[in-house]
Chains A and B, each alone.
Chain A
């Protein structure tokens, strides 16, 4: 099993550009989520999904869109990148609400 796979590992964008961060898991987990990690801020929830076709906002959703068309994939879209979105992004999945989250290795995004 590969677990949670995130691509790309690194990305540099110019302000106003759009892109999609990919996340895939092969554990048949219903729960998937996106977090951003900033120095001194810890991990903050952006969006999450409790199953295919179901998504909801987390703590810091502005500027990001998600969709969940399959159980395996949960892409995160930046519609118009801003320097404030410079961060490390982590995707995670879990089997249930009382199971540990499994994290990918992150995408380091820089917006100039």
Chain B
């Protein structure tokens, strides 16, 4: 079936480095993607989203890139800080058409930032 998944389960970086978290999707009709951050004991927190009519979107210290040709998106975090340590998910919340659909999350990538 259609899926949204992640390439790497864990990522360790040094404080101040840039981090890149990758995500692949299989539904070519997907038109909206969201990145979430989840800290231990908390619910997923919205980071940034992107629609399929865009290739790139920037937020505060974060950039999401969308490559529709290879069905891949990435989250770049600039100057990673220890507070960025968390699990990061890409998600496609409204799979297909106009129906609510099922929320499709990958397993998540665990980002660990070392001081």
A interface residues (Cβ-Cβ under 8 A, vs B): 4, 31, 33, 35, 40, 42-45, 48, 50, 56, 58-59, 90, 92, 94, 97-98, 100-106
Q: Are A42 and B46 in contact (CB under 8 A)?
A: no
For residues 95 through 115 of chain B, which have their beta carbon under 8 Å from a beta carbon of chain A? 98, 100, 102-103, 105-108
Q: Are B42 and A35 in contact (CB under 8 A)?
A: no
Which secondary structure dominates where chain A touches chain B?
strand
Chain A to chain B contacts (Cβ below 8 Å), 24 pairs: A4-B43, A33-B100, A33-B103, A42-B108, A43-B44, A43-B89, A43-B105, A45-B102, A45-B103, A59-B102, A90-B44, A92-B43, A92-B103, A97-B32, A97-B93, A97-B94, A98-B32, A98-B51, A101-B44, A101-B91, A103-B43, A105-B41, A105-B42, A106-B41
Residues in A neighbouring B44, C-beta threshold 8 A: 43, 90, 101, 103
B interface residues (Cβ-Cβ under 8 A, vs A): 31-32, 34, 36, 41-46, 49, 51, 89, 91, 93-94, 98, 100, 102-103, 105-108
With contact pairs A43-B44, A105-B43 given, residues A100 and B34 touching in the complex (Cβ less than 8 Å): yes
Residues in B neighbouring A56, C-beta threshold 8 A: 100
Residues in A neighbouring B105, C-beta threshold 8 A: 42-43
* Minimum distance in angstroms from B6 CB to a CB of chain A: 10
Residues in A neighbouring B106, C-beta threshold 8 A: 42
Q: Are B45 and A103 in contact (CB under 8 A)?
A: yes
7 shortest interchain CB distances as A-B pairs: A103-B43, A97-B94, A100-B46, A45-B102, A42-B105, A43-B105, A105-B43
Residues in A neighbouring B34, C-beta threshold 8 A: 100-101
* Minimum distance in angstroms from A88 CB to a CB of chain B: 9
Residues in B neighbouring A35, C-beta threshold 8 A: 103
Q: Are B42 and A106 in contact (CB under 8 A)?
A: yes
